[in-house]
Structure 1
């Protein structure tokens, strides 16, 4: 009779493993998806920050703003960064919004990060990064982008 009880106990353990597996797998999948989702969001934050800094650096030495913005938009549109076309806005801190030596230039880059949809993101996944620098050079003719 003890052999029969042992067989019943083994059967119960096998069933419990299936139940435990069914309970744990959704949690593990959710954690993996969350790590991937927040990885994409962090990547978008870093890309927007680096793009804003680089655009501000170019503007303070007198690079043409039109091609600087176009180049920044192209860099922020890289693979796996965002789900829409990024916006790049620059402004000079004076009444005429023009480049003058010593004036502060601020560049703002906004990206909608990729959204897997299972995990909520801060601000709905909208990433906005800003960089500011003082204008050092105002050439007669703006420097062309390379």
Structure 2
């Protein structure tokens, strides 16, 4: 997560807010998926079903884009968002590591809806630590889609 922030800053980008990410994912719709009502057939046209592979990542752009022309918003990998959000205050003793949106390809369709969010918090249990529990953790199931602020 720290590396992603540093990369975006050096490249002149930033992580999208959760609100920006969800708006981009929904692409003007008010349904849980950008393609409308759920059906297995519709889902497979826009996203990778869990049965496609045990691996979380697939080639980008092989499924249909949403109405905004964005690919892989409902599956592929979870995507980091800026943790400062109107959806909630994350300050306090738990110290949030980050927030990701979207769903990796190995989860069911319900976890790939536009509104699904994952809060990544520090792990204080015994070693070894689970994946994604430190700010320097890496994971093949979380990526990022950079945003840019226009003047």
Larger Rg: 1
TM > 0.5 between the two?
A: no
Higher strand content, 1 or 2: 1
Higher helix content, 1 or 2: 1
TM-score of the superposed pair, with normalisation by structure 1: 0.25
TM-score of the superposed pair, with normalisation by structure 2: 0.24
